[in-house]
Every structure is written in C-alpha cells, then in structure tokens.
Structure 1
Amino acid sequence: MKALITGTSAGIGRACAELFLQRGWHVYGFDIASASIAHAEYEHFVVDVRDRAAFPAGLEPDVIVNNAGVQGADDIAVNLQGTINITEAYAFVGDFPAAKPAPWIRSVVNIGSASGQTGSEFPEYAASKGGILSYTKNVANRLAPQGICNSVDPGGVLTELNRPVMDDAAM
C-alpha cells in the first residue's frame, strides 16, 4: 500500500508519515523543506503544493493525506488550493468535469481545522479551512462508491506552525 502525505517535514504530516511507515506502507512525502525522515520505504519530494506543474509523475497512492498548511501568508493558496491541486493530480484521471477516480485511489483525508467549523482565528486561515470542508464533500461525492474522502478537523495542536497561537493567551 502507498500513501502520499503533504507537509511531512514536521508536525502532523511527519507524525502521519511515521505511522504509515510503522504499519508497513510505502510513503511519498511532499514538503517545501528537506526530508526529516530516513526510512527505506520513504520517498521525499521537495515540492510546493501550489505548483501542480512541479508534481512528480507516475505516483499511484492508495491514500492521500492533505496536510501541508500555513498560518499567515498564503493561507488560501497553500491550505485550500494546495489540497485541491494534490487531490486532482493524484486521486483523479482527466480534468474536471470529466475527471474520474484514479483506479488506485481508495481514500483521501484532508487535514482541516476546528477554525473551519467555527470561523475562529485569522480570517484567511478560517476561510481556507472552511473551504477544505466544502471541497471534502465535493471529493467524497466524486470518489463514491470506489473510495472515500473525509476531513479531520483538530483543535489547537502544539506544532511550530501553531506555536504563536498556542503561546498567546489572548488567542
């Protein structure tokens, strides 16, 4: 089994990649930073989720975990458009509206945020995560009955990305 996980150099993405590797999966990791995982079944690609033209060809993941994200600059472009770019490139064959589920895809997991549900925190961040919720429903409809798509929407998680919020008593 093969998983494609974005944002694997730190935080939630790295933890997801390590879990898949522990369970015997082959993992394709995408990040703008260098690899932080060394494992025989891990392939790291330094790639920006905003740049679909730079995505490596020929990957056929069974599972996609869209985790890459930012808080601040480029929230919509990275968090939402990056999720769309990865999913459309690797979970579907062809272009919308004629795109069909890729024969290998079984599941897409989008890492959202409680902010997408509540509108809390920064406007662009909340909007990007709210967009992920809507896009998740779109993908779920298009993948069924072959595969599934869900959003996991954690609250505050202590990662370097979220540290400014977690360390600010007002936030």
Structure 2
Amino acid sequence: MTSGKTVLITGASSGIGRATAELFAERGWTVAATMRRPEESNLAQKSDRIRLFRLDVTDQASVDRAVADVIAQCGGIDVVVNNAGYGLMGPFEAQTDAQIRRQFETNLFGVLNVTRAVLPHMRERRAGRIVNVGSAAGRMALPLYSMYAATKWALEGFSEGLWLELRQFNIKVKIIEPGMIKTDFFERSREVASKPGLTAYDEFVANVAPNLTAWEEAGAEPVVVARSIWRAATGRWWRLRYQPNGILAVWPRGWVPGQLYVRIVRRLFNAW
C-alpha cells in the first residue's frame, strides 16, 4: 500500500535516521533520505520507496538544491525530519572555537537551514509537519556534553516558538526528546575534545566516562525513536514534545527541586 505522502529525512545514513527511513518506507511513504555522501549508502536497496539525495545541512545552497530536487521528483514534501547531528564531548575548556561552531552549525543552524528551505512550500500548501530530533539532553544537561546540550536546549526554544508561529498555516511542529539510544552516535557521530597540557579534568573524566558508557549500553534500539517520529508525523493532535526512552530523564525536571535534581544527576554520573 502507498500513502502518496513524502518524508524528507536528514542524516539518514545510519542510526535513527536510517531506522526512520526504513519504517516510513515499510508503511507506504516515499522517503527522501538525505545525507552528505549518498554514494556510500546501501539504504536505497532496502526499498524501492527510498530515494537518496545529497544534502549537507551546514551548506544552505546544498539544502536548497536538495529540497528543490525532492519537490520536483516526489511531487512535494509532507513531513521533514531534522535528524542530522553529532555530539561534541569533553570539558568545555578543552574545546576549540572551531569545534564549538561546528557543533552549532550542524545541530542547530542545520535545522534552521532545512526549515527555512521547506517553509515556503509548506506554507503555500497550508499543510506540513516539521519534526525536530532533539534529545533528553535538551531538557537536562550531562557532564562533558555542555556544548551538545547547549545546541539541544536552543532547539527546544526554536521548536516551541515555531510551533506558535506556524499553527496559523496548519503546519505542525514536533520535537523528539530521546533518552539513550543504541546507535553509532557514540562512535561514528561523536567528537572528543582534548587540549595538550590540560590535565586538570583528567580525574573528573575518568570518574564520569564509565557511567556515561553504562547508560549508552543500556539504551533502546533506534526503531523506538523511529516509531515516535512516526507518531509525531501522522498523529492528529498538536502535541509538541515526545520522549521515546527519555521520559524518566525529562519528567522529574518539572517537579523535583532544582538543587536536588542537580544532585541526582551528579550521583548518577559520579560527577563530583
């Protein structure tokens, strides 16, 4: 069965993006799976409903070209899933300005670039969904992930503000806030910052890193997030936030006193 609908997914080469592409294709959607190097991907072999497009979220010209190609070849875009991203790990003091800017260019400005490109199309049709893949780290910060959390906290504010702006055009905005997920994010999609001669954080990193690893290994499979993205893309309601495998991390933030919440996080990750 086919739905006649098209979803554009960024960062579809692996992990959550790939699982989402496969799920939407299984359920009859045309999938525009975008990535920086489509020639290296075998994703299109999974379904004849999946088409690969080259897209670099940090390059507005690349974004505009890909969006125009998807509209021309698929007849339109019904849902955009802003999934592309990676994590910059390490003490803030060890991170260079170039690393920090690259983190924001991908995780935040990349979302802005893609959203800016698709909005005229969706606004003209007075229909569409923008699904932003955030993180539970957008509601709670993790030690050694300060800049990653900063991008995801910013994405929360952008998504909520956009939700208010676009309702008048019948365009729904959603944000997905996953907890720990078993993907290659912590190998392929992570950059670890270090600075020669900076040893003041060595003991802290040694204490925290094993606890982060334990949480990573206990994560859910990517398809759990893909199913949540599916619900966000197809559900009738105007609900903004979804927390696949992340509700236990996000929910207490609203009712546990701030200082106690911070102490809980410190104890969980041995961040003393």
Higher gyration radius (CA): 2
Which amino acid letter does the alignment assign opposite residue 40 of structure 1? D
* Structure richer in strand, relative to its length: 1
CA–CA distance in 1 between the matches of 2:127 and 2:12?
20
Per the alignment, residue 141 of structure 1 pairs with 164
Higher helix share: 2
Following TM superposition, where does structure 1 have runs of at least 4 consecutive aligned residues deviating by more than 2 angstroms? 33-36, 162-165
How big is the alpha-carbon RMSD for the aligned residues of Structure 1 and Structure 2? 2.0
Identity %: 33
Displacement after TM superposition at 1:170 (Å) = 3.4
Q: Identify the match of residue 62 of structure 1 among 78, 90, 106.
A: 78
Partner of 1:81: 109
Q: How does 1:1-150 map to 2 (within 5 A)?
A: 1-34=5-38, 35-38=41-44, 39-55=47-63, 56=66, 57-58=68-69, 59=71, 60-72=76-88, 73=99, 74-90=102-118, 92-93=119-120, 101-103=123-125, 105-121=127-143, 122-145=145-168, 146-150=170-174
Q: TM-score, normalised by structure 1?
A: 0.87
Q: Give me the whole-angstrom Cα distance separating, in 2, the residues matched to 1:11 and 1:33.
A: 15
Amino acid of the residue matched to residue 147 of structure 2? E
- Aligned with 2:43: secondary structure? coil
Alpha-carbon offset, residue 88 of structure 1: 1.1
How far has the Cα of 1:22 moved from its partner?
A: 0.5
Deviation by residue 1:22-76 (Cα, 9 ceiling, x = unmatched): 0100111111233331222212112210111112215231001110001124221
Alignment-derived partner of residue 97 in structure 1: none
List alignment gaps of at least 5 residues for structure 2. Answer: 89-98, 193-208, 213-272
Q: Work out the number of aligned pairs and report it.
A: 163
**Distance change >3 Å, CA 10–CA 104, structure 1 → 2:** farther
Q: Distance in 2 between matches of 1:133 and 1:36?
A: 32
